[in-house]
Structure 1
Amino acid sequence: MSAADEVLDVVDESDRVVGQAPRGEVYARGLIHRCVFVRVRDAEGRTFIHRRTPGKLLFPSMYDMFVGGVVGAGESYDAAALREAEEELGVRGLSRPEPVLRFLYDSGGVAGKWWSAVYEVRCTLPVNPQVEEVAWHGFVTDAELERRLPEWEWVPDGLAAYERLRAHRRR
């Protein structure tokens, strides 16, 4: 099954399930769906960053400071966060990601809106990122990440999640 055929829950502005549709249709029609964003830190507290592969449906070849993706039909945010983190990092036995915040992201006409659940997890396991998802990766300090923000082309939803996470941490 291709990524476009994956079935997602369609939700309303209050994050209530109102139906289901294949991902390709959800994107094409701009339907509201659910996504997870997992900030991964290593044992030294550095953040995992990566560049997406050119074949991604959304935001190909852009940088991201989160792993994650869409929440499948009938799947919980928590289950999707763990599944996506393990898949993209290429690990098994990761601790359960901790939920931090949730917000409704508007892609500005790219692919509609999606409820975005932001998580954090510590990964002390050696990573072997999924080659279908990750073209390049590394762990960087917070200072290095801040230096790279204006230099690299970041996925817009991940950047929005990062800004909200930073604001949340300052409170």
Structure 2
Amino acid sequence: MSAADEVLDVVDRDDRVVGQAPRGEVYARGLLHRCVFVQARDAEGRIFVHRRTASKLVFPAYYDMFVGGVLGTGESYAQAALREAEEELGVRGLAQPTPLFKFLYEGPGGAWWSYVHEVRCELPVDPQASEVDWHAYLTREELDRRVDGGEWAWVPDGLEAYRRLRAHPESRL
């Protein structure tokens, strides 16, 4: 099954499930759905940053400071956060990511409910080749320079989540 065929819950502006549709249809029709963002930090507190593969359906070859993705039908935000973090980082045995806040992203690429989490990953990472083209751990200062410098194309939803995370009182940024 291709990513476009994966069935997602369609939600309303209050984040209530109102139906299901294949991912490709959800994107094509601009239907609201659910997504998780997980900021992974290593033992030194550096932030995992990566470039998405060129084959991604949304924002191909863009940089991101989160791992994550869409929720499958019936999946909770917590389940998706752990699943996506382990898949994209290529690890097993992560602690459950800590939920921080949820917001409705509306911008380039569409609109979706986005739940931001963070997790400590002290395991050696082996990022999923179909998701991650390049990766490194950056300090917050290095990441902020990359974000503010404009040299890298950042996924707009991740950039919005990062800006909100920097302002969030429970964030360890």
TM-score grouping bracket, smaller chain normalisation: over 0.9
Quote the residue 2:161 is aligned against: 161
* Partner Cα separation in structure 2 for residue 91 and residue 160 of structure 1: 26
Quote the residue 2:71 is aligned against: 71
| RMSD after superposition | 1.2
SS in 2 for 1:169: coil
* Partner Cα separation in structure 2 for residue 39 and residue 59 of structure 1: 18
What code does the residue aligned with 1:43 have?
A
What code does the residue aligned with 1:135 have?
D
* Partner Cα separation in structure 1 for residue 131 and residue 138 of structure 2: 19
* Partner Cα separation in structure 2 for residue 139 and residue 96 of structure 1: 20
* Partner Cα separation in structure 1 for residue 71 and residue 170 of structure 2: 28
Q: Write the mapping of 1:1-40 to structure 2, written as runs, cut at 5 A.
A: 1-40=1-40
What code does the residue aligned with 2:124 have?
P
Tell me the TM-score normalized by structure 2: 0.95
| 1:10-49 Cα deviation digits (max 9, x unpaired) | 0000000000000000000100000000000000000000
In structure 1, runs of 5+ residues without a counterpart are: none
Give the C-alpha shift of residue 170 in structure 1.
8.3
SS in 1 for 2:15: coil
| 1:114-166 Cα deviation digits (max 9, x unpaired) | 00000000000000000000000000100000111122110000000000111
Quote the residue 1:52 is aligned against: 52
* Partner Cα separation in structure 1 for residue 41 and residue 161 of structure 2: 16
* Stretches of 4+ aligned residues off by more than 6 angstroms: none
Quote the residue 2:139 is aligned against: 141
* Partner Cα separation in structure 2 for residue 77 and residue 124 of structure 1: 22
What code does the residue aligned with 2:160 have?
A
SS in 1 for 2:169: helix
Quote the residue 1:118 is aligned against: 116
Give the C-alpha shift of residue 107 in structure 1.
2.6
The answer to whether residue 61 in structure 2 is matched with residue 84 in structure 1 is: no
What code does the residue aligned with 2:139 have?
T
SS in 2 for 1:160: helix
* Number of positions where the alignment pairs a residue of Structure 1 with one of Structure 2: 169
SS in 2 for 1:120: strand
* Partner Cα separation in structure 1 for residue 170 and residue 5 of structure 2: 40
In structure 2, runs of 5+ residues without a counterpart are: none
Give the share of equivalent positions with the same residue, in percent. Answer: 72
* Partner Cα separation in structure 2 for residue 24 and residue 18 of structure 1: 17
SS in 2 for 1:27: helix
- Are the structure 2 counterparts of residues 16 and 118 from structure 1 closer, same or farther at C-alpha, using a change threshold of 3 Å? same
